[in-house]
């Protein structure tokens, strides 16, 4: 298998991805993601449909000012309308007005949809495809033709499905992209269809899959193995219904497993960073179990696994985490052995050979987990626990009291107010704050009390908050577990995501424990960076 084979990567996060439920982007979001995709080294960035909304029109104007290095921007649109010349069609005019070097035209492959949705003859549909592409080519644009419902039609009427591709290629389309629009095809059928198209065409053959059957990635890989040299998908697999093919595992597999050429050289190690950037920009939670880039992709929990990984990482890891910009994660839980704790923090705190300390820490973890704590998603709380055990913990303030009240007036939203009284560096701080809810109010009051003493508190941000009932049989008297996920920002622009935990029969107290752990963890790291005489840096 030749290492020189190049697979074009076409990203449609900004168009097809935004059709997914809960995935919404502002104009600025779209521009920032386009910049990040260009840095990653994708070949094409589909910006949207310029006739559909003012935001997409503005995107095509603004993206010209970004100075992208390698990615080509594509405008997306449909074939001309029936009964009108392509040059007079408003959609065609809008595509040309976007001034993109690439234009993607989607056309109907399904004979049923042509006759019953478009209400035109099969011959007229072929003319609509050809006329639309010919106009774009005559204006100097490179055309990618997306054959909608190709695989479904190839199954039911292969002759007509292939005729639509012939019409597109004859009109000058550079890429014929075969779309599994409903996401119902299987890999062996996709491969068979791609091989047949390759026999009949001189154009680049592409693949566009959806994940409705859970095999979008398998279909994409099958298509590439069968000869497709162009692959369309989205970052993190966002998209309508069950999503599009996730470009992240596609690219990682093609480059690392098949040794194909996809992204620009040297950019694969930014895959994790780009994935998380898209999640953050869209205000979505990270998918911990996402292959290659998820926070749990290289996480090890069982003591036997950790012991083996410490000797040879390949025993339980299929690639090096660093090759895609991720890192190994050793989980701490009641299932852990001392080897987990040694691997997690032994080198950092120089206790990897201190068996007594490791056993004490493990015993503490097991006792706390028996009481309802879980440290798998609360690594920062575990580090604080360990610091206390080895006397490398610092207390930044003492609580005198806090109080939270809720004021509810009929027909109005409730208002939460929190009062926090602390002793910080020998001074008493007594602060009040309102919030959208009791935890928000408590957080705001705590921040206000600490801010003048520790301005770095502004560099830690709460990004997720989860509450779980532990012993549900006790109903409203049950204990609850609160897990808070935070992000630390540093002066050099890097970020660290970490979790803290609190457990109590009172949800406010559990939240307080998790909040305090978050701020103490952050401040300890800031202080140690200063003592080392270095600018604060955190793990990516």
Q: How does residue 494 score in pLDDT terms, banded at 50, 70 and 90? A: confident
pLDDT for 296 equals: 83
**Dihedral (Cα; 43, 48, 50, 52), 10-degree rounding:** 160
pLDDT in tens, 192-205: 999 999 999 999 99
d(CA 512, CA 478): 17
Element (H, E) at 464: strand 460-469
d(CA 121, CA 154): 18
The more confident residue out of 291 and 3 is 291
For 266, phi then psi, to 5°, come to 85, 5
Residue 107 contacts by C-beta under 8 Å, 6 or more apart in sequence?
Answer: 78, 79, 125, 128, 129, 132, 145, 146, 147, 148, 164, 168
Phi, psi of 306 (to 5 degrees): -60, -45
Q: Distance between CA atoms of 413 and 84, rounded to whole angstroms?
A: 55
User: In the numeric block, which tokens belong to residue 307?
Assistant: 């012991």
Q: Looking at the domain 397-453, which fold is it?
A: Double Stranded RNA Binding Domain (3.30.160)
Answer whether residue 3 shows pLDDT above 70.
no
Q: Where in the chain is the domain with CATH 3.20.20.70?
A: 8-264
Where do you find CATH 3.30.160.740 in the chain? 397-453
Q: For the residues 85-104, what does the mean pLDDT come to?
A: 96
Query: Residue 496: pLDDT band by 50, 70, 90 thresholds?
Result: confident
Return the SS3 of 64. Answer: helix
Given its phi and psi angles, is residue 194 left (phi above 0), alpha (psi -120 to 50 degrees) or beta? alpha
Pair type for strands 415-424 and 398-407:
antiparallel
- pLDDT tops 80 at residue 396: yes
Domain 8-264 classification at class level: alpha beta
According to the per-residue pLDDT averaged within each range, which of 129-133, 359-363, 463-467, 469-473 is highest?
Answer: 129-133
> Stretch 405-422: mean pLDDT, rounded?
92
Asked if the model's pLDDT at residue 303 lies above 60, the reply is no
Contacts of 352 (CB under 8 A, 6+ apart): 342, 346
**Is the confidence at residue 326, as pLDDT, over 60?**
yes
Please tell me the predicted confidence (pLDDT) of residue 537. 43
What pLDDT sits at residue 341? 64
What was the pLDDT predicted at 333?
55
Residue 475, both tokens: 């109903």
pLDDT beyond 70 at 306: no
Residue with tokens 């502002």: 26
Q: Which residue has the higher pLDDT, 288 or 350?
A: 288
In the three-class reduction of DSSP (H, G, I as helix; E, B as strand; rest coil), residue 346 is classed as helix
3-class DSSP state of 302: coil
pLDDT at residue 483 tops 50 = yes
CB 311 within 8 A of CB 343: no
Q: Are 227 and 200 in contact (CB under 8 A)?
A: no
C-alpha–C-alpha distance, residues 261 and 531, integer Å:
45
Q: What is the pLDDT of residue 107?
A: 97
Q: Give residue 1's pLDDT band: very low, low, confident or very high (50, 70, 90).
A: very low
- What is the CB neighbour count within 10 angstroms for residue 410? 4
Mean pLDDT of the chain: 89
Write down the pLDDT at residue 539: 39
The mean per-residue pLDDT over the stretch 523-540 comes to 70
So what's the pLDDT on residue 285? 82
The confidence score (pLDDT) of residue 475 equals: 58
Give the pLDDT band of residue 316 (cuts 50, 70, 90). Answer: confident
C-beta of residue 496 within 8 angstroms of C-beta of residue 521: no
- Cα dihedral 452, 457, 461, 464, rounded to 10, equals -100
What is the rounded CA–CA span in Å between residue 186 and residue 191?
A: 9
For 25-57, the pLDDT digits (tens) are 999 999 999 999 999 999 999 999 998 788 899
What pLDDT does 346 receive? Answer: 53
Alpha-carbon distance values, 447 to 229, 485, 516 (Å) = 53, 17, 10
How many Å apart are CA 206 and CA 197, to the nearest integer? 10
The answer on pLDDT for 2 being more than 60 is no
pLDDT at 474: 59
Average pLDDT on 161-179 reads 98
Alpha-carbon distances, residue 441 vs 445, 446, 452, 460, 464 (angstroms): 6, 9, 18, 17, 16
**pLDDT value, residue 150:** 98
Mean pLDDT value across residues 174-187: 98
Distance CA 351, CA 354 (A): 5
Query: Full-prediction pTM beyond 0.75?
Result: no
Percent of the chain with pLDDT over 70: 89
Range from 180-194, 271-285, 304-318 carrying the lowest mean pLDDT: 304-318
């Amino acid at each position: 298998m030749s290492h020189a084979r190049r697979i074009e990567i076409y990203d449609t996060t900004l168009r097809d991805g935004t059709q997914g439920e809960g995935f919404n982007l502002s104009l600025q979001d779209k521009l920032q993601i386009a910049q990040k995709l260009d840095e990653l080294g994708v070949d094409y960035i589909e910006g949207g449909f310029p006739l559909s909304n003012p935001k997409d029109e503005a995107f095509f104007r603004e993206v010209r000012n970004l100075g992208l290095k390698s990615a080509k921007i594509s405008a997306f649109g449909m074939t001309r309308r029936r009964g009108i010349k392509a040059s007079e069609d408003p959609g065609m005019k809008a595509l040309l007005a976007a001034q993109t070097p690439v234009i993607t035209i989607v056309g109907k492959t399904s004979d049923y949809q042509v006759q019953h949705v478009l209400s035109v003859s099969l011959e007229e549909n072929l003319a609509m495809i050809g006329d639309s592409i010919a106009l774009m080519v005559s204006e100097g644009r490179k055309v990618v033709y997306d054959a909608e419902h190709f695989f479904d039609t190839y199954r039911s009427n292969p002759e007509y499905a292939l005729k639509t591709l012939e019409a597109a290629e004859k009109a000058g389309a550079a890429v014929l992209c075969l779309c599994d629009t409903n996401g119902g095809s299987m890999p062996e059928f996709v491969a068979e269809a791609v091989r047949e198209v390759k026999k009949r065409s001189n154009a680049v053959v592409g693949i566009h899959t959806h994940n409705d059957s859970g095999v979008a990635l398998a279909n994409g890989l099958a298509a590439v193995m069968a000869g497709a040299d162009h692959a369309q998908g989205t970052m993190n697999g966002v998209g309508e219904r069950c999503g599009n093919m996730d470009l992240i595992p596609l690219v990682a597999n093609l480059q690392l497993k098949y040794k194909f050429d996809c992204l620009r050289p040297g950019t694969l190690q930014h895959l994790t960073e780009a994935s998380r950037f898209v999640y953050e920009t869209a205000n979505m939670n990270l998918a911990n179990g996402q292959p290659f880039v998820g926070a749990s992709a290289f996480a090890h929990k069982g003591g036997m696994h950790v012991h083996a990984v410490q000797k040879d990482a390949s025993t339980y890891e299929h690639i090096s985490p660093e090759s895609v910009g991720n890192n190994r994660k050793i989980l701490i839980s009641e299932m852990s052995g001392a080897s987990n704790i040694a691997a997690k923090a032994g080198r950092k705190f120089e206790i990897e050979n201190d068996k007594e300390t490791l056993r004490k820490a493990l015993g503490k973890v097991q006792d706390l987990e028996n009481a309802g704590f879980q440290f798998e998603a609360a690594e920062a709380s575990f580090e604080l626990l360990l610091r206390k055990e080895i006397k490398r913990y610092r207390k930044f303030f003492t609580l005198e009291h806090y109080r939270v009240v809720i004021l509810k007036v009929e027909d109005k939203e409730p208002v939460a107010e929190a009062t926090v009284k602390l002793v910080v560096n020998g001074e008493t701080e007594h602060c009040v704050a309102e919030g959208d809810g009791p935890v928000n109010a408590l957080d705001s009051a705590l921040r206000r009390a600490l801010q003048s003493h520790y301005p770095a508190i502004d560099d830690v941000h709460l990004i997720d908050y989860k509450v779980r009932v532990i012993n549900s049989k006790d109903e409203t008297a049950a204990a609850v577990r609160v897990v808070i996920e935070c992000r630390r920002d540093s002066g050099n622009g890097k970020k660290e995501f970490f979790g803290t935990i609190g457990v109590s029969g009172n949800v406010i107290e559990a939240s307080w424990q998790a909040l305090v752990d978050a701020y103490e963890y952050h401040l300890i790291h800031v202080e140690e960076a200063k003592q080392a005489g270095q600018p604060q840096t955190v793990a990516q």
